[in-house]
Structure 1
Amino acid sequence: MEFALVIIVVLLALAFDFTNGFHDAANAIATSIGTRALTPRAALIMAAICNLLGAMLGTHVAETIAHSIVNIDGQPIHSSLILVLAALVGAIGWNLITWWFGLPSSSTHALIGGLTGVGLAAGVPVFWKAITDKVVIPMFVSPIVGFTLAFLVMVGVLWLVRKARPNPTNRRFRIAQTASAAAMALGHGLQDAQKTMGIIMLALVAGGYYGKGDAIPFWVKISAALAISAGTYSGGWRIMRTLGRRIIELDPARGFVAESVSAIVLYVNAYALHAPISTTHTITSAIMGVGATKRLSAVRWGVAKNIVVAWVLTIPAAAIVGAVSYWILHGILG
């Protein structure tokens, strides 16, 4: 029974990774499509490849997810696996709800919310300090940094090109957006595919197949990388419309700056802080930052408000869905 549960958890984790790909594909390419720097199909292919490569660049975020959210040491194998399974159900459920309404919420926080909810429902220790330091604080700080840095960089760029002719300048920034979109997609793979690696590793440790200090095996890395890449290629058109056009009408220069700043924030958090931050929060706040350099009224703050509400609700909503899923699954399988 435990072996079958491990298989189910691994498959469901890869399904979550796939939904993460189509849910968050917009993070990397919406701005490039919105400014017509890339065609939708070319952008999706590039993002899928870069997500695949990015997923193989590190495991720090995966280790945070596997070992720093809930403590399953000493728990029965069966109960631990049900816990991980329920967390995934909570995260996937919230991903699908926000995707349906076209809201760019965070798959990262949906997964962490699901884990936290089932941890509370199951009565296992939750690492609140780690959640605060590596999830909650970055959740608020990263969008602020993304907005502020994007605003300041955009002001600098506008000053540098103030005497340049608009049409040639826009053409150059469209070409530059190919590189910035690729960097953003690489950062998305680096951050988001690792979360699936972490949840799979948590299930394998719970099932007794690996120890807590073991390195993440290659087959877990490549499976997560392929799943998020396939999900990215399948697209996420609803959310692309929100990020690419509904927050602000982007020009190529602003698209380039938003993507570049977002990529930098993702890399710093992955390599320096080992923090699983939201690519969605980062790119959305950067888009608002570059948009605000036009004038504050250029940003559609009503749309932005709906997005922020979805951000705030993500962790508690996924936690509730995860907790309910745990009670139901534990009643059926326990």
Structure 2
Amino acid sequence: MPDIPVLLVAVVGIALLFDFTNGAHDSANAIATIVSTKVLSPLVAVLMAGVLNLVGAFLGEAVAHTIGSGIVRPEMVAGSQGLVLAALLGAIFWNLLTWYLGLPSSSSHALVGGLIGSAIAYGGFSAPSYGSIAHKVLLPLVLSPVAGFFSGYLLMVLLSWLVRRSTPGRVNFLFKKLQIVSSAFMATSHGLNDAQKTMGIISLALFTFHQIPEMHVPFWVKLSCALAMGLGTATGGWKIVKTMGHKIFKLEPIHGFAAETSAAAVISGASLLGAPISTTHIISTTVIGVGASKRLSAVRWGVAGRLVVAWILTIPAAALVAAACYWLLAVTGLAV
């Protein structure tokens, strides 16, 4: 029977807990618009999102490889048994804080910030892979919300032109049906990007504990992360659903379809490129773009401003907490 360190078991367990909280925290990404427009009941919506998040988790590995080997330098952190644990604690703390406040911040960037902070605490400022962080994290951090805004705006303008001669009743009937498809697309893309992040962090932990010779994602890691994300999504995140579906912009079925379709397309494209973007950022900005296409005053910009502040704070805040956690683990002798 293989000798598996107890600390590694704890790290894997906490990583799956993070995946679960990610699913619960970000369940709003896939179901907020479809619930707020009353296309599906909350129960049916979360069950659909949970199953499709699980399916999406099996559709690729590019994001997992970015998290596992593109944020910190594997050769510099090999053997650091407390690094991944500290990173997860920093990310989970930020997730729980923003969940409590009802802010749709980024679980993804909380995890990235946690990795950066714990890596610096362990190996100094040379431990993070800054080139990869700039290319795969910071650049998408800026560009993906912009892409979300304009894709939502342009698709809504196009749809408005296409249905300009239809009655409101016919438009609502059509897009209530189509929004089921767009919500399913959104849930699948969410699993494709977000579940892979925990796959990457568990694979990094296995590497640092010398359980795998090189960075790759074992099948059991894929399966456990997919199940954890699906279960988390099924629990829902109703405070965030309320913020996403009602406080930013009053949605109708055509708006929900435009926002979800645009967001899912941006997220899927980024996932294929291996960019661990924030699904929360994207659906938020597509909703804002859809609202702005109607009129700028239709968007509650004060709420949008609070979201931006939370996004900006996520990486440095999670990094600071993770660094503090690493130093605490080092003092107690748990970090090597």
Match of 1:67 in 2: 69
Structure 2: distance between partners of 1:108 and 1:81: 22
Structure 1: distance between partners of 2:74 and 2:322: 16
SS at the partner of 1:137? Answer: helix
AA in 2 matched with 1:171: F
Conserved? CA contact 1:173–1:253, under 8 Å: yes
Q: Which runs of 5+ in 1 are unaligned?
A: none
- Residue of 132, 135, 138 corresponding to 2:134: 132
Residue correspondences, number: 330
Conserved? CA contact 2:64–2:196, under 8 Å: yes
The answer to whether residue 166 in structure 2 is matched with residue 164 in structure 1 is yes
Structure 2: distance between partners of 1:2 and 1:232: 30
Structure 2: distance between partners of 1:89 and 1:75: 18
Conserved? CA contact 1:2–1:207, under 8 Å: no
SS at the partner of 1:181? Answer: helix
SS at the partner of 2:128? Answer: coil
Structure 1 residues 75 and 143, CA gap change in structure 2 (3 angstroms)? closer
Instruction: Please give the TM-score of this superposition, normalised by the length of structure 1.
Output: 0.97
SS at the partner of 2:49? Answer: helix
Residues 15-34 of structure 1: pairs in structure 2 closer than 5 A:
15-34=17-36
Shift of 1:76: 6.0
Q: Which runs of 5+ in 2 are unaligned?
A: none
AA in 2 matched with 1:289: G
Structure 1: distance between partners of 2:202 and 2:225: 9
Match of 1:146 in 2: 148
Match of 1:305 in 2: 305
AA in 2 matched with 1:303: V
Structure 2: distance between partners of 1:76 and 1:144: 37
Match of 1:207 in 2: 209
Match of 1:94 in 2: 94
Structure 1: distance between partners of 2:247 and 2:76: 49
Match of 1:116 in 2: 116
Match of 1:226 in 2: 227
Structure 1 residues 102 and 75, CA gap change in structure 2 (3 angstroms)? closer
Deviations 1:19-60 (A, max 9, x none): 000000000010100111111000000000000000011111
Structure 2: distance between partners of 1:138 and 1:291: 23
Structure 2: distance between partners of 1:275 and 1:81: 26
Conserved? CA contact 2:35–2:41, under 8 Å: yes
AA in 2 matched with 1:219: W
Match of 2:13 in 1: 11
Residues 270-285 of structure 1: pairs in structure 2 closer than 5 A:
270-271=271-272, 273-285=273-285
Shift of 1:2: 6.9
Conserved? CA contact 2:179–2:257, under 8 Å: yes
Structure 2: distance between partners of 1:2 and 1:32: 44
AA in 2 matched with 1:63: H
Conserved? CA contact 2:78–2:209, under 8 Å: no
SS at the partner of 2:249? Answer: coil
Shift of 1:75: 4.5
SS at the partner of 1:56? Answer: coil
Shift of 1:74: 5.2
Deviations 1:161-188 (A, max 9, x none): 0010111210110110101000000000
Structure 1: distance between partners of 2:75 and 2:81: 12
Shift of 1:294: 1.5
AA in 1 matched with 2:108: T
Structure 2: distance between partners of 1:266 and 1:153: 16
Shift of 1:72: 3.7
Match of 1:216 in 2: 217
Conserved? CA contact 1:197–1:220, under 8 Å: yes
Structure 2: distance between partners of 1:94 and 1:261: 27
Shift of 1:94: 0.1
Structure 2: distance between partners of 1:71 and 1:128: 9
The ranges of structure 1 where at least 4 consecutive aligned residues each deviate by more than 2 angstroms after the TM superposition are: 74-77
CA RMSD of aligned residues (A): 1.1
Shift of 1:308: 0.4
Structure 1: distance between partners of 2:218 and 2:312: 34
Match of 1:315 in 2: 315
SS at the partner of 1:232? Answer: helix
Shift of 1:231: 0.4
AA in 1 matched with 2:93: G
Structure 1 residues 101 and 75, CA gap change in structure 2 (3 angstroms)? closer
AA in 2 matched with 1:206: T
Deviations 1:195-245 (A, max 9, x none): 0000000000111111224x3111100000000000000110010000000
Shift of 1:118: 0.7
AA in 1 matched with 2:5: F
What percentage of residue pairs aligned between the two structures are identical? 52
AA in 1 matched with 2:255: R
Structure 1 residues 190 and 211, CA gap change in structure 2 (3 angstroms)? same
Conserved? CA contact 1:9–1:81, under 8 Å: no
AA in 2 matched with 1:99: W
Instruction: Please give the TM-score of this superposition, normalised by the length of structure 2.
Output: 0.96
